[in-house]
Structure formats: structure tokens, C-alpha cells
Amino acid sequence: MTGNKTILRALAGEALEVPPIWMMRQAGRYLPEYKATRAQAGDFLSLCYNPELACEVTLQPIRRYGFDAAILFADILLVPQALGADLWFVTGEGPRLSTVTTQADFDKLGPVADIHETLSPIYQTVRLLTDALPRETTLIGFAGAPWTVATYMIAGQGTKDQGPAHALKAENVALFEALLERITLATIEYLSAQVDAGAEVVKIFDSWAGSLKGADFERYSLEPARQITAALKARHPGIPIIGFPREAGEKYVGFAKATGVDCVALDNSVAPEWAAANVQVDGCVQGNLASHHMVTGGQALVDETRAIVKAFSKGPHIFNLGHGITPDANPDNVQLMIDTVREG
């Protein structure tokens, strides 16, 4: 099945001479063609829920750059919306949601079985991409990890320190854990439906994993990732899964073995040499160029890209950024990164 799809070969444990490459948020505001399609859609959420236009923006960076993978264009907060939370986006500020901080709020959420009614356009996007992508390009589906999604549902927006979620965890752990369980079960169904529609890999984004300390990391980041991974692999034997417990630091060590994921995505706060010695020993890793290089470019981009490729060259590696590309990035710097990876 892996055939000539380099991403799938790396995920299966093969060390390739040239690492396959894709980029978090590769369909995004740094591209003029994305901005034009988003304007056509009207707003961000309308773009997510329009299969034809979501397919188009997913394909744009593939046409422009020939990345080895396309990642479904969607948002991690579609799951809370599908569970019954109100979701809207404030221009220039980001997402806003109705909050879940009391039992009454939680009781207003819908059952997991009902999420597909809202999310069916996303599955149609996946089906369109399955038909439209070049034969050598791997299609990646994704969802937010339960902890990260919960931080938004509890606070009603993104927060610097995830304080409201930590507060609820301390004050009403039963409610906090019930919310996490609902998100976990919904995420399993959502990702499973993406695989049914044609996703060849899925990625679990735990963007705020780093704010969980001590046993909380194992309980609320690692354990949900393990549950989601086990459920998906039971339903879809052989489906590769990428876990991304961002800013986990030392907790990256052993994460793959403990959760069952096939690949650990690394942020740029860890040195590639350290990660090669401590994380890549368990299998494929992804990362981890700092996204600011996509803004600044130049020789520093080339040098750091080469250093990362070299550090991970002895084992399976997928080249990526350490976090998503930012809207102020220069598209020419993306090409420079790709050329450096592929040509040395």
C-alpha cells in the first residue's frame, strides 16, 4: 500500500535518503491564492464547511510546492461545534466559543453519535481530495487532541497559559474529565470517518500539551492519545498515526511506545540531535524547523534545515516545521526550505 508514497514509507519505519516534507498550516494566509479563495468563501468557517473550496485550498500548496503530503483543510474547533458548542471567529483575534465551565453547560452538549451531521462536509472534502491529489501525495487527516480542544471549550478562546482549563481541572475534576472523555470519543468517531473517506494518515494535534505537568501530562495528554490511537487501529488496522504533544520536552521520550503512535512530531524547542538520540530511537519523527525561518529566510534557514536533516538522517524522518507557518511568511522561503531538503 505504501508504494511510492514517501510519507507512508517513513511512517512504516524506513530511513529515506531524502526525507519527505510537508508543512503545518501549508494551506494558509501566507499564500495569495489562499486569501483569494477564503474571500470567495466569505469567512473562515464557511471555507471549512465548503468541500469544493476546502479541497481547493488544500491543493494549492501541492500545486505550488509539490509537498509529499496534503493535510485536510479544517479546524480543530469543528469538533466542539459538532458537539453543540457555539463557534465563531473574530477577525484579527481568532476563535470564540460558548464556554463549558458548569455541569449545566456540559449537559447542553449533544451526544457523540450526532457529530457527523455537522461534520459531513469535512468527509466530503476528504473524498474530493482522494480523487484530486497526485498519486504520489499522501492525504493526512487530523483532529485536535482532547486536552487542547478542552482548553478552548472551557475558556471560550485561546489563552496564553490555559489557565481556565487548569482551574476547572483543580476545582471540578469530575466535570473536567467528563468533558475530556466526550471530546475523546467524538475525536475517535471524527478521525475514523476521515479514514473511511480516504485519509491515509491521521495526526493528533496537542498544541497545549506542554502546559500539563507531572502526572497530568500522562493522564490528560498521553492517555487520550493512547485511547484514540488504539480505537483507530482496532477499526483501521495499519492506519499510521502521528502524535504531536507540542512542547512536551522530556515527555517526548517514550511517547510513541506509550501511546502506540507511529510518529512523534517535534516542536522546535528541542534540539534535533537530542531528539534523534532520545525519541527517534522508537521510530519515525517529524519536524522541527522553527517557523520564523519562513519569515526571515537567508543562510540561517539553509543552515538550520541542513542541520535538522543531518541530525535525523540515520532513521525515519518527515521534515516539517516545529509549529504552523505564520501569515507573515514569505512563500519564497518555503521554496528555499524545500530545495534545501531535496537538494542538500
The catalytic residues are: 25, 29, 38, 75, 152
Phi, psi (deg, nearest 5) at residue 84: 115, 0
Residue-wise DSSP of 111-170? PGGGHHHHHHHHHHHHHHHHHHS-TTPEEEEEEE-HHHHHHHHHHSS--SS-HHHHHHHH
Closest CA to 140 of 212, 71, 56: 71
Cell of 77: 474547533
Q: Give the cell for residue 133.
A: 491529489
Cell 516545521 locates to: 321
Output Rg (C-alpha) for the chain, integer angstroms: 19
Cis preceding-peptide flag for 172 (omega within 30 of 0): no
Phi, psi of 62 (to 5 degrees): -70, -45
Residue among 188, 189, 183, 160 at smallest CA distance from 100: 183
Look at residues 155, 159, 143 and name the one whose alpha carbon lies nearest to residue 85.
155
Alpha carbons 76 and 74: distance in angstroms, whole number: 7
Instruction: Tell me the one-letter amino acid at 56.
Output: E
DSSP 32-71: HHHHHHHHHHSSHHHHHT-HHHHHHHHHHHHHHH--SEEE
Closest CA relative to residue 320, chosen from 330, 309, 329: 309
Cell 498519486 sits on residue: 135
